[in-house]
Amino acid sequence: QVQLVESGGGLVQAGDSLRLSCVASGRTFSSYGMAWFRQAPGKEREFVTAISWSGRNTYYADSVKGRFTISRDNAKNTVYLQMNSLKPEDTSVYFCAATESGWPPNPRVYKYWGQGTQVTVSS
């Protein structure tokens, strides 16, 4: 069982930066691949980025490549999403998720989900 709690969202202007954090409970955090997804009102959940259990492999959606960076600190049971050069189209609720099946972009593979944190980017 894994419990995930996101934090760090807020209201920023275009071009600004935010760092989201996702803290996991339990002692098995390092065994899971982790990912960030986002969902805007009335839209489908969208893959953002994922990272392997070791942190040696990462994968990014084209829409955020070069602007966002995922990382993890297994000693702190935490995964991070550093978001730079934010755009209004990045406005969404951001969710972290965990899986024991690699680090794929398919949300149906992820077993555990956080409650989400709101990111709003004004123009």
Residue 53's pLDDT is what? 86
pLDDT score of 80 more than 80: yes
Residue 54's pLDDT is what? 87
pLDDT score of 30 more than 80: no
Closest CA to 22 of 96, 84, 91, 74: 96
For the segment 96-112, the average pLDDT, to the nearest whole number, is 93
- Using one digit for the tens of pLDDT, what is the confidence trace for 68-78? 999 999 889 89
